[in-house]
Amino acid sequence: MSDLLKAIAENVIQGRSDKQSPLVKDMAGAPGVKELTERAIKEGMDVEDIINKGLLAGMDVVGKRFKNDEIFIPEVLISAEALGVGMELLKPLIVESGLKPTSKVVIGTVKGDLHDIGKNLVSMMLQGAQFEVIDLGVDISTDSFIDSIKKEKPKILGLSCLLTSSMHEMKTVIDAVKKENLQNQVKIMVGGAPVTQDYASRIGADGFAEDAVIAVDRVKELIK
């Protein structure tokens, strides 16, 4: 792997979007993900290499550290934002190169819940893993989820909530998917602070993820 790709990966790990970032004091003034990605593009590096050996290689380390409780959600968010900066620069080249997204995912926070930090982190992680993500936002009605499934035809529907009072909305959506005979078209994954594997199983969800890092693995498993 080239030194430039290693530098991109390291900056994703450190959560340094650009050289103005104060997040890593001992690297102040050094180029961050934005500048390094721009340099890689200018040098004509392969888009897949920049993504897989640079950006995603860094995020993979972040994911492993998170699973091992070496870092926590704030650090993961910062790294995910740095990853997003690099991916945004690559979007035009991804289109030109003909790279296809792994699959499409529709995600949203259920009706009655306005929390979005966890959902946003899952969205960023999935986008970094080359999934096309349709983020519906928060307080999403059952009808809106159903309409989005019919329109977007995603492989995965992700339902998020933070409030125990809104958990029942997840079952409402799942029941509606079955009523519309869409259960063979889309797999449903649920998550959020009050959600457990037991609850996910009881309401008929296809998958459950306790955090954003695991969510990416679960989505991949469900698609297989």
Q: Domains plus CATH for the chain? A: 3-97 (1.10.1240.10), 104-223 (3.40.50.280)
Q: How does residue 102 score in pLDDT terms, banded at 50, 70 and 90? A: confident
- Does 176 have pLDDT greater than 50? yes
Query: Can you tell me the distance from the alpha carbon of 53 to that of 127, in angstroms, rounded to the nearest whole number?
Result: 16
Q: Is 108 helix (H, G, I), strand (E, B) or coil?
A: strand
Q: Is 70 exceeded by the pLDDT of residue 30? A: no
CB contact set of 161 (below 8 Å; sequence gap of 6+)? 109, 110, 113, 115, 167, 169, 170, 192, 194, 195
Residues 88-114 have a mean pLDDT of 88
pLDDT band at 84 (very low <50, low <70, confident <90, very high): confident
Q: What is the mean pLDDT of the segment spanning 169-195?
A: 96
Average pLDDT over residues 62-78: 88
Give the pLDDT confidence score for residue 170 in this predicted structure.
98
Backbone phi, psi, residue 104, to 5°: -105, 140
Give me the DSSP letters along 126-181.
Answer: HHHTT-EEEE--SSB-HHHHHHHHHHH--SEEEEE---GGGTHHHHHHHHHHHHTT
Instruction: Report DSSP state, residue 55.
Output: I
pLDDT for 21 beyond 50: no
Q: How many CB atoms lie within 10 A of CB 206?
A: 18
Kindly report the average pLDDT of the chain as a whole number: 89
Going by pLDDT thresholds of 50, 70 and 90, the confidence category of residue 1 is low
In contact, 208 and 219? CB cutoff 8 Å: no
C-alpha Rg value of the chain to the nearest Å: 18
Least confident of 44-48, 108-112, 139-143: 44-48
pLDDT score for 28:
47
Provide mean pLDDT across the span 164-186.
Answer: 97
Tell me what the mean pLDDT of segment 98-120 comes to.
Answer: 90
Which band of pLDDT confidence, cut at 50, 70 and 90, is reported for residue 24? very low
Confidence of residue 133 (pLDDT cuts 50, 70, 90): very high
Model pTM score:
0.77
Among the residue ranges 93-107, 125-139, 177-191, 192-206, the one predicted with the least confidence is 93-107
pLDDT at 155 over 90: yes
Residue 25 has pLDDT above 50, yes or no: no
